[in-house]
Structure 1
Amino acid sequence: MQHLFLTAPIAQKLWKHFASCAGISIEGVQLQQLITSWWDRPGHCKEKQILKAIPAIILWELWKRRNARKYGKEDWMEILTTLSIYKPTLYYRIVYWEKPAVGWVKCNTDGACRGNPGQSSYGFSIRDNRGDIIYAEAQTIGDATNMEAEIMGVLKAMQFCDTHKFQKIILETDSLTLKHMLLKQWRVPWSQVENIEDIKRNISRKQVQIRHIFGKLISSQTI
Structure 2
Amino acid sequence: MCRIIYWKKPAVSALKINSDGSHRDGSSGGGGVIRCSHGITIMAYSIPFEEVSSNVVEAKALLFGIQWSIQNGTSSLELETDSMLLVAWVRDVFKIPWQVDVTIREIKRALVGTS
Pair in the same fold by TM > 0.5: yes
Checking the alignment, whether the CA contact within 8 Å between 2:22 and 2:54 is kept in structure 1 is yes
Structure whose residues are more often strand by fraction:
2
Work out the CA distance in 2 between the residues paired with 1:143 and 1:101. 33
Aligned to 1:101: 11
1:143–1:201 CA distance, 2 compared to 1 (3 A): closer
Aligned to 2:113: 205
Checking the alignment, whether the CA contact within 8 Å between 2:47 and 2:61 is kept in structure 1 is no
Asked which structure has the greater RCO (Cα within 8 Å, sep 6+), the reply is 2
1:95 CA displacement: 2.0
Work out the CA distance in 1 between the residues paired with 2:91 and 2:15. 20
Does residue 74 of structure 2 align to residue 166 of structure 1?
yes
Structure whose residues are more often helix by fraction:
1
Counterpart AA for 1:170: E
Query: SS of 2:65's equivalent?
Result: helix
Work out the CA distance in 2 between the residues paired with 1:204 and 1:158. 11
Return 5+ residue gaps in structure 1 as ranges.
Answer: 1-91, 208-223
1:184 CA displacement: 0.6
Counterpart AA for 1:140: P
Pairing partner for 1:120 from 15, 22, 28: 28
Work out the number of aligned pairs and report it: 114
Work out the CA distance in 2 between the residues paired with 1:170 and 1:148. 20
1:171-190 matches, within 5 Å, as 171-190=79-98
Counterpart AA for 1:97: W
Q: Which has the larger radius of gyration?
A: 1
Encode CA deviations 1:100-154: one digit per residue, 9 max, x unaligned.
Answer: 2211111100001113xx2100101100111010011101112421101101111
Work out the CA distance in 1 between the residues paired with 2:93 and 2:14. 25
